Amino acid sequence: AQTVTQSQPEMSVQEAETVTLSCTYDTSESDYYLFWYKQPPSRQMILVIRQEAYKQQNATENRFSVNFQKAAKSFSLKISDSQLGDAAMYFCAYRSALGNTPLVFGKGTRLSVIA
């Protein structure tokens, strides 16, 4: 079974600075998708960014970018120019491209943004 590990339970960043959240995963598959989700306090989970494993180019969405290292099974999220609204729980998730397997989530990283 696939597993997702987020080794940083909590992180903090100064407003306008850059922060990187780590994620590693374990799989024997070669075709899959990776996601980062954001869950603000008492609010619903929203998709931040996604990466297709067969693409070497790292995904970017405005201030959010990933560093996808397939051989190392690593998928980190970089947030540039951090804003107060970025404070939230961030979850890394894995989904196989085969069959109907559901998303597998890590335990999350709580990000605090300091003004």
Among 8, 58, 87, 104, binds other proteins (CB under 8 A): 104
Label the pairing between strands 109-114 and 10-14.
parallel
Among 37, 68, 75, 94, binds other proteins (CB under 8 A): 37
- Please give the size of the binding site for other proteins, defined by CB under 8 A: 28
16 binding other proteins? (CB under 8 A): no
Torsion of CA 65, 80, 24, 11, to 10 degrees: -160
Is the Cβ–Cβ distance between 110 and 11 less than 8 Å?
yes
107 binding other proteins? (CB under 8 A): yes
In the block, tokens 């995963």 appear at 25
95 binding other proteins? (CB under 8 A): yes
Binding site for other proteins (CB under 8 A): 4, 6, 9, 33, 35, 37, 43-47, 50, 52, 91, 93, 95-98, 100-108
